[in-house]
Structure 1
Amino acid sequence: MKADVILLLWLLLVTVYDFRERRVPNWLVLAGAVMALAALAFGIQPLGINWTFALLGAGVGFGFLLLFYAFGLMGAGDVKFAGALGLWVGLSALAPIWIAASLMACIHSVLWLALKRWPCFSRLAFLLVGPSPTFESGAPTRRPRIVPYAAYLALATAAWMVWGRQS
């Protein structure tokens, strides 16, 4: 199986999982990071980046989104996914991917806010929120995750792989 197919399958899994559960599990992030490192080690990296750009991409991807996590604006899975994604795409691709993903997340949020305010569309707004968090007695409550940002990062990466690298 070619490494670009593996990358696309991983992105698909992350997208589906994040849209359905509003979280990205550690095993899925770790699997993507291990596959990216293996592709680098065996010289089959699908985007043609080297170790330096991959490690810089991982560091910047993780570090930049860590700031949003620190302010409670993003989940930890999104941050870890951005680090693993940086291993695949490298530093130079992160900016266009972030911009596209942030635009999609913005549209998601605006659509949710608009639909939530109109009584006839409140069920559609509920679909944009995702599953309700389950709370156990004594467990700290957390805010619901409205925007599946890792899914939008994955979709933006897939789009970038198809259209963005052709120049």
Structure 2
Amino acid sequence: MSPAPVKLAVGDAAPALDLPTAGGGRVDLAALAGAPALLWFYPAANTSLCTTQACDLRDNHQLFLDAGYRVIGISPDPVAELDRFIAEQGLPFTLASDESHQVMEAYGAWGEKNMYGKLVQGTIRSTFAIDAEGVLTFVKYRVGTPKHIALLQEKLGL
């Protein structure tokens, strides 16, 4: 029996992260300090729903920039796959690789989910906003892809 997944809430401190990114860099929580950030966890680059979600964020990226947000997508994909995803979809934001699932587990974005009627372990599509001091200002598990941008506009005041 696996332990119950973490469930973060608004007001919690953002868990630490330090991950490799597409293009050969790294992203960590300390580097995000001083401005708000939007972390979105997704199951797999270049799959139907994840591509739709990434392209919606791409097409609305200026909304986040205008509000001072840095957007970071995190998936279990290796960096080479993230490089391909950015190139094929023209994504303007950072994508980070969490192949070990450690960061996803810390955020409660990895665990049991129902896929086509079968329970599997995997990425739980989730989104978090972090303020300039590292405190969560928005937490949403099991994000619905079609309503993602509208939800963020409403909840983040974009």
Per the normalisation by structure 1, the TM-score is 0.25
TM-score (norm 2): 0.26
Tell me which protein shows more helix as a share of its residues. 1
**Higher strand proportion (structure 1 or 2):** 2
